[in-house]
Structure 1
């Protein structure tokens, strides 16, 4: 489910009432913990946190030229809130760390795909863990991993 919202504020206003506070809390913890060098905006119909073109001119190799390098996206999907984190997709050590830490922060089973962590219990998002995850990689480290592993 993607949104046609053009700003983060419009996106947050457009989601179901029971998702607003959990999404705002998730956004807040990301903003508080994400290192310098990332920006927030709408990307792929979701709230995105990305390396802007001013910091990484080539941008993302998939799609249109203007696309900044995505790092994290969050979205209110039909049956869950999703956190898409490119670092856990591209860095096996970060993925392993996250998978080991998750049970220490949540009584629910980890539900994830390659880069997508799904939170079906929207009032039980492990915000402290997400904050720690968001602070684990700088924009420059993400660019280096991206260039080494993804952009070949």
Structure 2
């Protein structure tokens, strides 16, 4: 479910009222803890944190006009989604997250390849998300991307 919003502010206004506060807290947690160099912008109809072209001129291999994506957050129909490309590309980071999750939440982990789905908005493990954001720098993500995804 992609929003029609073309700015972060407009996207936030489109979020249903019952999840707006928690979504904003998730966004603030990510922005406050992600390493320097990532830039927040609209990306794929969601709020994204990307590696800008000035740091990685090659851009995203699927469309080199786009910056390299790293993290996106989205308000989907039945859940809030956190998309983290580092978890998708780095098996050690994925295993760390899976093993740490039960320490922060009594909810069953609901994940896809890069997507973590939160259906109970009052159960989002913000402290764990903050730790996850600090696990990979821009340079580490570029190296991981080039070695694991862009082969």
Q: TM-score, normalised by structure 2?
A: 0.98
Mapped to 2, the partners of 1:122 and 1:10 lie a distance apart of 21
- Residue 136 of structure 2 corresponds to which residue in structure 1? 137
In the alignment of these two chains, the number of paired residues is 151
TM alignment of 1:77-92, pairs within 5 A: 77-92=76-91
Pair 1:75 & 2:74 matched:
yes
Q: Which runs of 5+ in 1 are unaligned?
A: none
Q: Secondary structure at the match of 1:147?
A: helix
- Alpha-carbon offset, residue 4 of structure 1: 1.5
User: What is the match of residue 6 of structure 1?
Assistant: 6
Structure 2 CA distance for aligned equivalents of residues 150 and 20 of structure 1: 33
Question: What's the offset of the Cα at 1:123?
Answer: 1.7
Structure 1 residue ranges (4+ consecutive) displaced by more than 3 angstroms after TM superposition: none
> Counterpart of 2:36?
36
Task: Report the CA distance between 1:49 and its aligned residue.
Answer: 0.4
Q: CA deviation at 1:43?
A: 0.2
SS for the counterpart of 1:113 is coil
TM-score, reference length from structure 1? 0.98
Q: Cα RMSD over matched residues?
A: 0.6
